[in-house]
């Protein structure tokens, strides 16, 4: 009942107001231990036609600025984009039918890589030349060949059909300051 009368009384002062003004009469020990809110550290600047004046607190002048502006680590370079196994472009799409991780840049490149794998694996896997071609494709299809001229493989399999595989050098480019050439795989089935 007393607290209600204190709150209703106009002359009753709030306990926080008593602490701010410094009145310690009638203030309990718990109320004295309440932490005071400190004013924030402020900095001011003044822009004039002569220049800018920046005012900071005195204690800031003794601090070392280099501690706050330490050199930051450079971000890691982006990982190299995978290359197209057919033409050497940027490998956007993954070829799902292949046993190794092969990438392609377009739908025609995906079709040519799938056709190559299908022919090599299905029809001439047991042929010695086919096995040689399979090993070549398995390990080198997604690696950049360096300085190769045109290579022609003639593969004979059932019904005297000939698979003519031309590997052509497309163009030279620079990676890590080394001149290399991409290889394009071109498939032609001749009957």
**What does the domain layout of the chain look like in residue ranges?**
1-36, 93-190
pLDDT tens, 123-162?
544 444 444 555 455 444 443 333 333 333 433 333 344 4
Q: What is the pLDDT of residue 146?
A: 30
**Position 171 pLDDT exceeds 60:** no
| Strand 161-175 relative to strand 51-55, pairing | unpaired
Distance (Å, whole) CA 139 – CA 105:
19
Q: Which two tokens stand for residue 81?
A: 């984009």
Distance (Å, whole) CA 6 – CA 26:
13
- Taking residues 113-122, report their average pLDDT: 64
Which has more confidence, 35 or 51? 51
**Highest-scoring range by mean pLDDT, 115-119, 123-127, 166-170, 180-184:** 115-119
**Position 179 pLDDT exceeds 50:** no
Q: What is the pLDDT of residue 149?
A: 32
Q: What is the pLDDT of residue 112?
A: 74
pLDDT tens, 75-107?
888 888 788 777 777 888 887 765 667 788 888
Q: What angle (nearest 5°) sits at the alpha carbon of residue 106, between those of residues 102 and 107?
A: 95
Q: What is the pLDDT of residue 24?
A: 53
CB contact set of 42 (below 8 Å; sequence gap of 6+): 57
pLDDT tens, 5-34?
777 766 555 555 555 555 555 556 666 666
């Amino acid at each position: 009942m007393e607290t209600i009368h204190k709150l209703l009384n106009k002359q009753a002062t709030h306990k926080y107001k008593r602490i701010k003004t410094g009145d310690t009469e009638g203030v309990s020990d718990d109320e004295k231990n309440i932490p005071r809110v400190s004013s924030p550290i402020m900095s001011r600047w003044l822009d004039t036609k002569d220049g800018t004046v920046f005012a900071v607190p005195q204690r800031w002048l003794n601090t070392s600025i280099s501690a706050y502006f330490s050199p930051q680590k450079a971000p890691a370079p982006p990982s190299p984009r995978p290359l197209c196994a057919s033409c050497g472009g940027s490998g956007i799409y993954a070829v799902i039918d292949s046993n190794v991780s092969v990438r392609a840049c377009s739908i025609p490149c995906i079709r040519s890589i799938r056709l190559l794998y299908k022919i090599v694996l299905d029809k001439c896997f047991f042929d010695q030349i086919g096995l040689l071609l399979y090993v070549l494709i398995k390990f080198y299809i997604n690696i950049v060949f360096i300085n190769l001229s045109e290579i022609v493989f003639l593969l004979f399999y059932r019904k005297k059909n000939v698979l003519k595989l031309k590997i052509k050098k497309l163009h030279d480019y620079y990676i890590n300051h080394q001149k290399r050439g991409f290889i394009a795989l071109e498939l032609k089935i001749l009957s």
